[in-house]
Chain A
């Protein structure tokens, strides 16, 4: 993936997913999306990529998610 292009403090823009990649993902999800809406979704797909890049980060293998919880009564 292309290096993130910084828009300013704290905002990142990455390379867009291709229209074909978005269509494949929607089809795999079983969603029947009208053509016009597909174009808009494809144009907005970069938002998901940017957010995904942000949350991936580098962390220890043992870094726990937030929803780990004690058993009832503990």
Chain B
């Protein structure tokens, strides 16, 4: 009997010892999808037979002594903006409902080369921006902790599927917070790596200069395992960084003594005030880090609205450029949220776009200076628990400055880490933010925190 919930690391340990069959593991996830996904809507497309065939191949390879590593035989899901050879990749949109790519995205190739089993394509907000929407070809994903609640977005299906144990990990993309938001609301670990760390080739773009691909899983260790496979230079991506990729899992030493952390309190106390439970969760997390030997001091940056304005102006402008022609021809074929957010983008002038990009340089320099004598920063990942799914407004992105956007503006790594549960039993989270290409320190600190706290042992109770 395969347990309902397993981390990638736990499953890999069993598979490596030949105590767990990749076929049984994949069958168990397919059974859970069949049992629970009618309510969760986390999958757009389940790839049952290809997944079982891949699991059988993985099993044969492992039994033949060709174990590839900790992703070998692990069922994962792909946000449906990651292109898959011969399998529709829709962006959760009618616009691309018949789009069948000829190649896998570069990061998908890396994951399958590492032995991961792709179980299916996961729900997203339309083109990673418009959601939660009820007028698209597929319904929006629901939060496994309470299906009346929002998953966060845009990597909504990945958040739901991993939290529900339908897959052990999945891919997300993050242009303003689309990995960290659903990770926070669904209780996962979600890592937005440095800009350029993971190839964007074969991932439907939202905004070229802000798009980051990344892993979403139950733990920091699982994110480290996935990042190891996904990261690396890709000459086909003009934004790809030719930087060494360290051994992320080896970095999870548990020892965080001496790490210097800046607490960006004003982001969640003044600029976008978080609820009391989130503030308490972060205060308790600071105590945990201090208890582990870290030093924590206040860090003050420009007001959050400055970072959000810069990022949102760039995001809207670049997204509008991508969809401009199709919006003119097929406005009604987009969902209302996406098309109306794009219509707002039509009001941004070229001059203001360039001003936003100039502002980005100033803000990135400010962050570099502020972090000169620090290793990490902490702030909230979301202002509270997941709201009701039908309470998310069309222009919610603009109503309150996003806590996640600053680290898309800087292009530096940032991770959502669960720090407990609200009185309603919904996950709460903070962000750990690092220096450029130092995902290893972010993961090390997140892993140490998870190990020192009980939150990873709590899973949602699902009803068929």
Contact = CB atoms under 8 A, between A and B. Distances in A.
Contact of A55 (B266, B355, B401): B355
Interface in A1-31: 8-12, 17, 22, 25-26, 29-31
Contacts of A8: 270
B445 to A, nearest CB: 27
A55 B340 contact: no
Contact of B344 (A45, A57, A64, A66): A45
Interface size bracket, B side: 35 or more
Contacts of B328: 29-31
A14 B309 CA distance: 14
Given A31-B331, A45-B347, A51-B313, A63 B340 contact: no
B294 interface: no
Contacts of B356: 51, 55
Contact of B347 (A9, A22, A37, A57): A22
Question: In this complex, which of B312, B358, B394 has the most chain A Cβ atoms within 10 angstroms of its Cβ?
Answer: B358
A11 B309 CA distance: 10
Contact of A65 (B266, B358, B398, B401): B358
Interface stretch (B66-74, B170-178, B180-188, B359-367): B359-367
A40 to B, nearest CB: 6
Interface residues of A, number: 34
A66 B360 contact: yes
Given A44-B398, A55-B356, A33 B347 contact: no
B110 to A, nearest CB: 24
Given A33-B343, A44-B398, A65-B360, 18 more contacts: A10-B270, A31-B327, A31-B328, A31-B331, A32-B331, A33-B340, A41-B343, A44-B344, A47-B398, A48-B313, A51-B308, A52-B313, A54-B305, A54-B309, A54-B359, A55-B359, A64-B361, A66-B361
In the A-B complex, list the 7 residue pairs whose CB atoms are closest, starting with the nearest.
A10-B303, A65-B357, A47-B398, A51-B309, A54-B309, A29-B346, A66-B360
